[in-house]
Structures are given as C-alpha cells and as structure tokens.
Amino acid sequence: MPILRSAFISLSRNQTMRRFLENSAVGRRMSSRFVAGKDLSDALRVAKAVNDQGMAVTLDSLGESVSTEAEAMEAAEIYQQLLEQIAALKLNANISVKLTQMGLEQSPELAEQIAESLVKHAHATGNFVRIDMEDSTLTQATLNIVRRLNARPDLHGSIGVVIQAYLYRSQADIEQLIADGIRVRLCKGAYKEPAEVAFPSKADVDQNFVRLSKLLLESRIYHGIASHDEAMIEAAKAFAGKNGIDPSRFEFQMLYGVRRDLQRKLVKEGYNVRVYIPFGQEWYPYFMRRLAERPANVLFLAKNFFRS
Ligand SMILES: Cc1cc2nc3c(=O)[nH]c(=O)nc-3n(C[C@H](O)[C@H](O)[C@H](O)COP(=O)(O)OP(=O)(O)OC[C@H]3O[C@@H](n4cnc5c(N)ncnc54)[C@H](O)[C@@H]3O)c2cc1C
C-alpha cells in the first residue's frame, strides 16, 4: 500500500487529531468539499440541489463505531427522521447506513433490530436502505444481517449492501447476493486490509472490479457501480452496450464533491447517477479516507483554502 495512503488511513483513527479538527473552524472549512454540512437540514438542502441536476442521492449520517446502546439509538433516530423528510419533500433519495454506528460491535442483535426498524420504515414509504460495508472483520456479520432481513417477505427488496472488489471473497458473495435477489453497490474498498484477505495491487483490484461489474450487470437486478475511475466506468458502459443492457437497469454512484464533471457527463449521456452525500458532526474518519484515496486532495484543499 503506498505510504501516503497508509498514513492517511492511520490518521483516520487518531483521536487527538480528530477532536482538534472536528471542533475547529479550519477543519469544518476543509471538510466542506466532501461533506454537506453538520445538520440534517444541510443534507436535505444539498440533496434537493443534486436532484435538481438530474441525479439521485443517498444520504449518510456520519458516524461509526458507537460505544453505547444510547448512541446507537440516537444515530438510528436521525435516519428515521431522514426517511420521514425524504418522503415529505419527495426527494429522489435513499439512505446509507453503517452497522457499527448501530452497535454491531457491541451487540449484533441490537444492530439487526435497528436495521430492521429502518428497513420497515423504508418499505412503508417506498424507500430503500443501503448497508455500507466496513472493514473485513465485519463482512460476514454484515452480510448475515442483510440476507436475513431481505429474506422476510415484508422487507424484501428494501435493503441492499455494498461489496468491495479488493476482497478475494467478493465474487462468491456477489453470486450469493444475486441468487437472493439483493441489490449490490460495488466499490473498490476503502479500508486497510492485509494481503491474506485482499488484493494488494491496484491492478488486481481493478481487474476484479470489472469482472464483478459484469456479473452484476447481467443479473437483471438493479445494482450500483460506485467508482470515479473512468476505466471502471467505461468498462461497465461497454459491457452493457455490447450485451443490450439498457442504461435504466443500473446506476453509477459517486461521492459528493468528487469528479463532479464526470457525474454531469454521465447524466448528459443518459445514465442514472446517484451521489453519496455525507453530513454530520463526525466527519473526520470519512474525510481522512477520502484523502487516503487521493493524497493530491491535500494540495487541492490547501490551494482552495488559502484562496478563499
Ligand atoms: C457511492 C460510493 C459509496 C461507497 N461506499 C463504500 C463502502 O460502503 N465501503 C467501502 O469500503 N468503500 C466505499 N466507497 C469507497 C470506495 O471503496 C473507494 O475507496 C473510492 O470510491 C475510490 O475508488 P475509485 O473506484 O473511485 O477508484 P480509484 O482508483 O481510487 O480512483 C480513480 C480516480 O478517481 C478519482 N478519485 C477517487 N477518489 C477520489 C477522491 N477522494 N477525491 C478526488 N478524486 C478521487 C481520481 O481521479 C482517481 O485517479 C464508496 C464509494 C462510492 C463512490
């Protein structure tokens, strides 16, 4: 793993730096490139603006790894409010949820109960819950919960999950999820993983991403291809075109603030695009992972910071 990527991923776990940046005006200003704002109202305002540009959104209330049940319930309440507001404002939006924020590491039962209540709410309002994927120690527990909830006739189709192309296990997971009729978001993977579980080289991750995209595209289920990498996007477009898969049968997904030019280009070409919009107080680990993906972002942020 390149040194800078590794350094930013380590920094994402540094509590002193986190406390300092999350509570400082400097930190908040830096993060605004990738984070919609602190409050739910910020997220809804940005979601509407993105919808107005012809793109769907998925909303992420930032936070991960809570330590008490009360914190998990508090995090869940924000998502319940989001689902209500999305319906009331008729936004083209769903929600993205991390199970560690719902208490997965303390009590898988609690995380499952909270996920169930969110999926019930989503089902009742014609919406959808995407469960984000975290590090590989949580992959199996996350998939178990998603598959159990999706198997319930009253929740079927209202929950989906994320698969990371860097993990060796992902092809088998995708085959299982397709057999279950579960919607998948495919991404490369954002965590620091050992070579025992994940491809260490970018070329192998990219090759696997293309292979897995093809499995998803030909499955007749509506999946999301989440990448800013033009080679990944071109490969998906070419495969779909060659196999008569209409653009309405899948979507591209990208992060708020990343490759806005490419997002607009895809919309113009007639593809479905969904933008992942994070908001909230706890933006630090998310922000550091974005810097890890592209350390040149530090220069970009610094230039804009001093310019404005
Ligand atoms: C909608 C969405 C949801 C995601 N959900 C998850 C999840 O649940 N779990 C998980 O592990 N990961 C998740 N990720 C992150 C993902 O795993 C990658 O870390 C991230 O998308 C970067 O990979 P890439 O495919 O864009 O390709 P890369 O090879 O990393 O990047 C290709 C090109 O994209 C551009 N780019 C990429 N990242 C950035 C950036 N931060 N800033 C500016 N330019 C950039 C650069 O031009 C770069 O050269 C998600 C990503 C997206 C888009």
210 lines ligand 1 (CB under 6 A): no
Please report how many Cα atoms fall inside a 13 Å half-sphere around the Cα of residue 122, on the Cβ side: 28
Assign 3-class secondary structure to 266-306.
HHHCCCEEEEEEEECCCCHHHHHHHHHHCCHHHHHHHHHHH
252 lines ligand 1 (CB under 6 A): no
Question: Model's pTM, two decimal places?
Answer: 0.93
Residues 6 or more apart whose Cβ sits within 8 Å of residue 132: 60, 96, 97, 98, 162
What is the atom index within ligand 1 of the atom nearest the CA of 188? 17
CA distance 15 to 13: 6
64 lines ligand 1 (CB under 6 A): no
18 or 42: which leads in pLDDT: 42
From 192, 212, 229, give the residue whose CB has the most ligand 1 atoms within 8 Å, as the site to mutate: 229
Phi/psi of residue 125, nearest 5 degrees? -105, 15
Question: What is residue 164's predicted lDDT score, i.e. its pLDDT?
Answer: 98
Residues 6 or more apart whose Cβ sits within 8 Å of residue 187: 133, 162, 163, 164, 165, 226, 227
Q: What percent of the chain has pLDDT over 70?
A: 96
Phi/psi of residue 128, nearest 5 degrees? -150, 140
- pLDDT tens track for 266-301: 999 999 999 999 999 888 888 888 888 777 777 666
From 99, 225, 234, 255, give the residue whose CB has the most ligand 1 atoms within 8 Å, as the site to mutate: 255
Mean pLDDT of 76-91: 98
Mean pLDDT of 80-109: 97
CA distance 56 to 44: 12
Band (303; pLDDT cuts 50, 70, 90) = low
Which active-site residues does the annotation give?
A: 132, 185
Question: What is residue 308's predicted lDDT score, i.e. its pLDDT?
Answer: 38
From 293, 298, 303, 304, give the residue whose CB has the most ligand 1 atoms within 8 Å, as the site to mutate: 293
105 lines ligand 1 (CB under 6 A): no
CA distance 56 to 273: 6
Residue 277: Cβ-neighbour burial (10 angstroms; 0-12, 13-18, 19+): buried
Question: What is residue 44's predicted lDDT score, i.e. its pLDDT?
Answer: 98
**pLDDT at 27 exceeding the cut of 90:** no
301 lines ligand 1 (CB under 6 A): no
206 lines ligand 1 (CB under 6 A): no
Q: Kindly give the distance from the C-alpha atom of residue 156 to the centroid of ligand 1, in angstroms, as a whole number.
A: 28
Which residue, 144, 141, 142, is CA-closest to 131? 142
- pLDDT tens track for 116-146: 999 999 999 999 999 999 999 999 999 999 9
Q: Kindly give the distance from the C-alpha atom of residue 109 to the centroid of ligand 1, in angstroms, as a whole number.
A: 30
249 lines ligand 1 (CB under 6 A): no
CA distances to 43, 57, 279, 298, 301 from 21, in Å: 21, 27, 15, 15, 14
CA distances to 32, 34, 262, 283 from 28, in Å: 6, 10, 26, 9
